[in-house]
A = this chain, B = another copy of it.
Amino acid sequence: MEKDRLAAFSDGVVAIIVTIMVLELKAPHSADWSALIPLAPTFASYALSFVYVAIYWNNHHHLLYAVSRVDGRVLWANMHLLFWLSLIPFATAWMADNDFARAPTILYGLTLLLPAIAYYLLTLAILRADGPASPLAGALGRDVKTKASIALYFCAVAGGYFASPLLALAIYVGVAIMWFAPDPRIERTVAGSRDQR
């Protein structure tokens, strides 16, 4: 039950985060098609953030699937992740309202970077609770993807600051594409450990 309730609470928070972002898409007063054009940055930002939050949900889903024990440290590491995820709607709105200007686009990168770090800390907390014999341990031992995205978010933030916000945006889209598929290492390892039972 412990784990199920942790998953259920996280699902609730993530479902709300993903859905309140759509409230930024405010119905225009005019009934002309052209009234939708100014909403394009908001729609594009919403779609990007929806994909990002969906990636986090998918990975969280896979991660918890393989967990057998949840302790207080895991609960707080999970809350820490949810806290940073909850800032994505704010950063999305600021970026969209200002047509991808420099500061908001960099801040958006920070709100992607911080949950990435929190996610990494959550995997460490889970490994600690599950012990070194956990099927997760091997799977995450060479967790290239998480570390790569943290590095890429740093590059994006630096690129947005020193070069152009468009470079940062391009990296955000690239990382989203990289994460699109669920993590085959976890799926494979968990499937393997189930087959051995």
Which A residues are closer than 8 A to B by beta carbons?
Answer: 1-2, 4-9, 11-20, 22-23, 25-29, 31-33, 36, 47, 50, 54, 57-58, 61, 64-65, 71-72, 75-76, 79, 82-83, 86-87, 89-90, 93-94, 97-98, 101-104, 107, 180-182, 187
Which residue on chain B has the smallest CB distance to residue A75? B58
Kindly state the separation between the CA atoms of A63 and B86 in the bound complex, as whole angstroms. 26
Copies in the complex: 4
Kindly state the separation between the CA atoms of A25 and B89 in the bound complex, as whole angstroms. 9
Across-interface contacts of A71 in B (CB, < 8 A): 182, 187
Measured CB to CB, the closest approach of chain B to A97, in angstroms, equals 5
Inter-chain contact B2/A65, CB cutoff 8 Å: yes
Asked if A86 meets B18 with Cβ closer than 8 Å, knowing A12-B11, A94-B28, the reply is yes
Inter-chain contact B50/A103, CB cutoff 8 Å: no
Across-interface contacts of A82 in B (CB, < 8 A): 18
Main secondary structure on A side of the interface with B: helix
Asked if A50 meets B83 with Cβ closer than 8 Å, knowing A4-B1, A9-B57, the reply is yes
Measured CB to CB, the closest approach of chain B to A90, in angstroms, equals 5
Measured CB to CB, the closest approach of chain B to A179, in angstroms, equals 11
Measured CB to CB, the closest approach of chain B to A112, in angstroms, equals 16
Inter-chain contact A16/B25, CB cutoff 8 Å: no
Which residue from B8, B25, B94 sits with its C-beta under 8 Å from A90? B25
Inter-chain contact B187/A72, CB cutoff 8 Å: yes
Across-interface contacts of A22 in B (CB, < 8 A): 20, 86-87, 89-90
Asked if A86 meets B14 with Cβ closer than 8 Å, knowing A32-B103, A76-B180, the reply is no
Measured CB to CB, the closest approach of chain B to A167, in angstroms, equals 17
Which residue on chain B has the smallest CB distance to residue A29? B97
- Other 8 A-B pairs with CB < 8 A, given A72-B187, A75-B182: A9-B15, A13-B15, A16-B16, A23-B89, A29-B97, A32-B103, A36-B107, A54-B79
